[in-house]
Amino acid sequence: MKIIVLKFGGTSVGTTDRIKKVAKIIAKYKKKYNVIVLSSAMSGVTNNLINLSRKISNNFSDSEYDVLVSSGEQMSCALISGELINQGFNSRSWMSWQIPINTEGKYKFSRINKINKSKILSYLKKGGIPIITGFQGINNKNRITTIGRGGTDASAIMFAKFFNAEKCIIYTDVDGVYSTDPNKLKSARKIKVISYEEMLEMASLGAKVMQPHSIQDARLNRVDIEVRSSFTDNEGTLITKRKNIINSKIITGISNTTNDAKVTLLGIRDKPGIAASIFKPLSENSINVDMVVQNISANGKETDLTFTIKSEDLSRTKKIILQNKKINFRDLIFDKNVSKVSIIGVGMVTTPGVTYRMFQSLAKQKINIQVISTSEIKISVLINKKNVRKAISALHKEFKLNK
């Protein structure tokens, strides 16, 4: 039994006209495969439901939050199934608890650990097209849970794993992954094939095609993903393991963030454990620290510490640091006018001079680098937000990504 998993994002099912087009896409695949469909809520619906919860309370129950926001997928699944029935297909919507999709972890941030296959397999054998709610499951208390924003991608990937699907296709409003944001650079080119590792870096560093945890799920479970647009017939981007890729480019893509803030503590008394004393309370308050740089004074008694966080965490971070009695410092400085620009590519592992070329390219544009962080396949720099487009353009040209 050849199975294909199709996932449709919120924009793809955003109107009844778009849902009718989605049904045609599903019907096309049904000619060759047994099709399992995962759907997001219609675009805007989940945000509206979240806003309703906030009008009730700033501390709305997490368990009831999951019940509330999961209702959006129920609506879109019924509409897709209804359209397929209208076209003469055997189809029905499935809620997560009807399968069931079992999850573990906290409400709002659960993870799928098991999908019971028997009912879906039986339905497929009868020629049915199951339309399944993404983004959700049930826990061991028989309560509905959700698996984080963008979780329908993760749902589709786990279905592809458990059902040993031949393909997992993510339909969205873009026709693939690009070398950089095409809204910022017209010469951006679509990437035909990209590794899990490169895609994971690009997603975590600002590319909005897929959520990082979904890419990680695909990598861990070795599920190939194709990202395509539901609005065109263009070929998409294949996300797969490195050994499947033949690529002559050193750098695959360039990403940038739009919601970073820089925090600098000046004149910290330098002693063992001081960095842990700063970062422990931030961690306990779920504030993610990214780039970190430390400068020791000439006398070795003081240090300056700079790190980046998400801009929405800035006020909480300031409060936590000022209330921290375990640290002493001369001054505390914040800067929201920063952005992280990153080059990503497995080719840099074996290619010397990439760091120099990046820094030289930025220097020619008179762009000052404030903070640097690296991994095996990426180099990130923190720069002034006003220079982002200029930096992307220069780096895109330097590494010949427009060809």
What's the pLDDT tens digit per position in 300-338? 778 899 999 999 999 999 999 999 988 989 999 999 999
User: Averaged over 21-29, what is the pLDDT?
Assistant: 97
* Per-residue pLDDT tens over the stretch 49-84: 999 999 999 999 999 999 999 999 999 999 999 999
What is the distance of C-alpha 184 from the center of its chain?
19
Q: Are 254 and 396 in contact (CB under 8 A)?
A: yes
Q: What is the pTM of this model?
A: 0.85
Q: Are 223 and 168 in contact (CB under 8 A)?
A: yes
Residue 139, SS3?
coil
User: Tell me: the pLDDT tens digits for 177-186?
Assistant: 999 988 889 9
- pLDDT, residue 298, reads 64
Q: DSSP letters along 230-289, please? A: SS-----EEEE-GGG-----S--EEEE-SSEEEEEEEEEEP-TTHHHHHHHHHHHTTPPP
At 333 the pLDDT is 95
Question: What residues form DSSP beta bridges with 373?
Answer: 380
End-to-end CA distance of the chain: 41
d(CA 299, CA 288): 31
Question: What local confidence, expressed as pLDDT, does residue 26 receive?
Answer: 98
Distance, CA of 371 to CA of 380 (rounded, Å): 8
Average pLDDT value for residue range 118-125: 97
Q: How large is the average pLDDT for residues 77-94? A: 98
- Compute CA 87 distance to the chain's CA centroid, rounded to the nearest angstrom: 34
State the chain's mean pLDDT as an integer.
93
Structure tokens at 144: 């509905």
Other CB atoms closer than 10 Å to residue 58's CB: what's the count?
A: 7
* DSSP reduced 3-state for 383: strand
Mean pLDDT confidence for 236-264:
88
Whether residue 270 is predicted with pLDDT greater than 90 in this model: the reply is no
| DSSP annotation of 150 | T
Q: Does the pLDDT at position 299 exceed 70?
A: no
> For 142-146, 208-212, 229-233, 237-241, which range has the lowest pLDDT when averaged over its residues?
208-212
pLDDT higher than 80, residue 394: yes
Q: Is a pLDDT exceeding 70 seen at residue 351?
A: yes
205 confidence band (pLDDT: 50, 70, 90): confident
CB-based contact 199:346 (threshold 8 Å): no
Bridge partners of residue 371, in order along the sequence? 382
- Output the pLDDT for position 77: 98
What's the chain's Rg over C-alpha atoms? Answer: 23
| Calpha distance 140→233 (Å, rounded) | 42
> How large a percentage of the chain has pLDDT more than 90?
78
Q: What is the pLDDT of residue 174?
A: 87
Q: Which CATH number fits domain 3-173: 1.10.10.10, 2.40.30.10, 3.40.1160.10, 3.40.50.300?
A: 3.40.1160.10
Integer Cα distance of 389 and 136 in angstroms: 37
CA 84 centroid distance within chain: 30
- Say which residue the tokens 């054998």 belong to: 125
Mean pLDDT of the 132-158 span: 94
Q: How far apart are CA 12 and CA 15, in angstroms?
A: 8
What span, in angstroms and rounded, lies between the C-alpha atoms of 82 and 181?
36
By DSSP bridging, strand 378-384 and strand 371-375 are: antiparallel
- The sign of the torsion formed by the CA atoms of 194, 198, 199, 200 equals positive
